[in-house]
Structure formats: C-alpha cells, structure tokens
Amino acid sequence: MANALKSPYAAKIVSIGTAVPPGLLTNNDLEKMVDTSDQWITERTGIKQRHMAEKGVATSDLAAEAAIQAIERAGLKPTDIELIIVATITPDMILPATACLVQDKIGATGAWGFDISIACSGFLYALQVATQFVTTGAHKNVLVIGLDVMSSIIDYTDRTTCIIFGDGGGAVVVQRTEDGAPVGMIDYLYEVDGSGGPALCLPGGGSRNPTSKDTLEKRMHFVHQDGQVVFKFATRKMSDLCLKLLERNGLTGKDVDLFVPHQANLRIISYSAERVGIEMDKVVVNIDEFGNTTAGTLPLALQSARSDGRLKEGSLVLLASVGAGFSAGAALMRWSY
C-alpha cells in the first residue's frame, strides 16, 4: 500500500537515542561455537561483531535507555510524550506490550502505546504510523522505538542464523511541525507478501504451536531461516520499492543524499544501492559493528550517520527495509535537524 501525504502538518524526527548492550560476540568467538570462520562471515555478510545482552536484560530495558536519550536530546520531558510505539519481535513477554513497560520505566505518564511486530520492517512501519498520528494533528510528540534482543530467540548451534543477528536499537521523537517547512516524511511505499512466511519464522510458542516439551525438543522456539530464499527476495524487493518510490516523486538515485537500508547483509545493501543508482559513499553501513538487529537497524544506522556528519538538515534520505513476513518498505524523508 502506498500513499503520498497531504496535510497542513509535517512529521519530523527531532532526535535519536540508541542503546546497545556492552557485551560483544565476535566472528572469532563464533568460530569456537559453530563450524564457521571469520572469513566466511565477513565475505558473505559483512559482519565482524554483534552486541549481546547479558542474561536478564530485556528489550524494555534497552528501549527505555534509548527512549530517555531521545527525549532528552529533543529537549522534552517524558510527560511530553503522547504515544509510544515499540517495533520489536522480542518483547519482554507476550503480554503486556513492551510499550506499556517502557511507558512505566520512563515515566511517560501522559502516553498511550502499543507494539508493532513486523520484524525488520518494524521501525519503518512504526515511523509511518507515528507520522499518520502527527500529520492528522492528533499528537504533537510521538516516541518511536525499534529494538530487538535477538539473542533471546537465536539458536547458537545453528550456524546459518547465529552469525547474523545482534542486540540493540534506538528511539526517535517524531514531532509535529506547523510552520509549513518542507521537512520530515515525504512519501512511503510499503508491501507485505505473506507467501514468504515460512522462509523466516519462529514456529513455536504461538497459538499454532503452543510451547510444549515437543516444540522445545524440535527447537521451534528459535528463528528458522531459508537464507537463500530471503536473500533473493530482499535483493529484488528492496531495490524495486526504492526505484518505484523515487520515480513517482520525480527523483532518481542521484538525488538521494543518504541511503539508510536495513542492515541484513552487506551484499543485499550493495546490490540495492547499485541498482537504485546510489554511490556507496552515500550509503550507511554499520553492519560490521552491530550485525542485524532486526527492528533496531534503522535507528542505529540513522545515529551512525548523525555521528559521522553525513545526516544534515535538508538531506534527502531514502530508508528501506526487507524482512520476515515477507515485509518490505521504502520511505523518503527530508532530514530536519
């Protein structure tokens, strides 16, 4: 589904906060755990290390840390936040929603909230939901969090998945602007293709296969992935959506100041950038440092670009995601600070 925004208000990101646990799992560590090598992981994925939460550290802990940072950087108080949207596939527990846990932890006593569970596209979809609430005039300050503790659902005996994922993510404050400045979300193009569900799933623990001795023995409480199927879908879909979105806005890859793609595999990122016509010096890559943090990759990538000075006021930013579902999206944004 797609929709160009028409509203007297714009929705702009006014701050970013991030949180990653201090613990690291390097490729050399993984060599000692499964049959793999630093060379294979580096060549096939671009990943060198990932951050790992200590036992007992949950998504809401890191989400609250990122949220407080984002709220402070926006010059706001937690009580200024009216809505909290948490994109995650690793909630602290099935219920209550992680947004409720974060609301309580940060003291956002005036906020309502909910979670979005759409894996790697979670942050992008949540950003659009926030934009809708802001541009309708319903809310002024919305907190959007994309964060996963992937280590809680990864099988560290499965070399096809354990080398990819890491823990962490971030938060942004999406704020209403009424001065007519041409900033914030410009347009988006999001799609799901549920026929791809079996290629990337966590089959146990839901209503289809409630947790039992059997589901545990079959390791159904861990992520299962057909890497090749996801890879083929991701390379084609990410670039297709970006090209379509740019075209209908009268733009090409050359107009993009910064491409911020989901960090799943460096080869997917490079292929997509090349097909869309964006030079690699305009592409944010931090997968080497963080691995794939699922809903966390985009806020971490935005912060990396802020830190190295590549994300400036007025930059035309193209964001893109592909992941489980299948879910995919591309969004265009005029950066605002």
Enzyme catalytic residues? 120, 262, 292
**Residue 114 near residue 95 (C-beta atoms within 8 A):** no
Q: Which of 231, 259, 290, 335 binds ligand UT7 (CB under 6 A)?
A: 231
The interface with ligand UT7 within residues 307-326 (CB under 6 A) comprises 323
Shortest-Cβ-distance residue relative to ligand UT7 = 227
The interface region with ligand UT7, picked from 38-46, 58-66, 93-101, 168-176 by CB under 6 A, is 38-46
Q: Is 36 in the site for ligand UT7 (CB under 6 A)?
A: yes
Of the pair 177, 235, the CB lying nearest ligand UT7 is at 235
Helix-strand-coil split of the chain, %, nearest 5? 40, 25, 35
114 contacts ligand UT7 (rule: CB under 6 A): no
User: Is 230 one of the binding residues for ligand UT7 (CB under 6 A)?
Assistant: yes
Instruction: Please state the separation of Cα 108 from the chain's center in Å.
Output: 23
How far apart (Å, rounded) are the C-alpha atoms in residues 101 and 147?
14
Distance CA 51, CA 54 (A): 10
Angle, in degrees to the nearest 10, between helices 227-248 and 266-276: 30
Distance CA 246, CA 235 (A): 17
Return the residues of window 185-214 that contact ligand UT7 according to CB under 6 A: 200
- Amino acid 234 reads A
Q: Which stretch binds ligand UT7 (CB under 6 A): 16-24, 95-103, 227-235, 236-244?
A: 227-235
| Residues 174/13, Cβ–Cβ less than 8 Å | yes
- To ligand UT7, the closest distance from the beta carbon of 232 in angstroms equals 9
The total number of residues shown for the chain amounts to 337
Per CB under 6 A, contacts with ligand UT7 among 156-175 are: 159-160, 163
274-313 binders of ligand UT7 (CB under 6 A) = 292
Bridge partners for 258 per DSSP: 317
Q: Which stretch binds ligand UT7 (CB under 6 A): 53-61, 206-214, 237-245, 261-269?
A: 261-269
Residue among 2, 38, 40, 249 that touches ligand UT7 (CB under 6 A): 40
Closest to 121 in 3D by CA, of 333, 332, 325? 325
Q: Which is nearer to ligand UT7, 117 or 249 (CB)?
A: 117
Any contact of residue 45 with ligand UT7 (CB under 6 A)? yes
* 213 Cβ contact partners less than 8 Å away, ≥ 6 residues apart: none
Nearer of residues 186 and 223 to ligand UT7, judged by Cβ: 223
Q: Which ranges in 224-319 belong to alpha helices (H)? A: 227-248, 266-276, 287-290, 297-307
Binding site for ligand UT7 (CB under 6 A): 36, 40, 44-45, 120, 159-160, 163, 200, 227-228, 230-231, 234, 264-265, 268, 292, 323
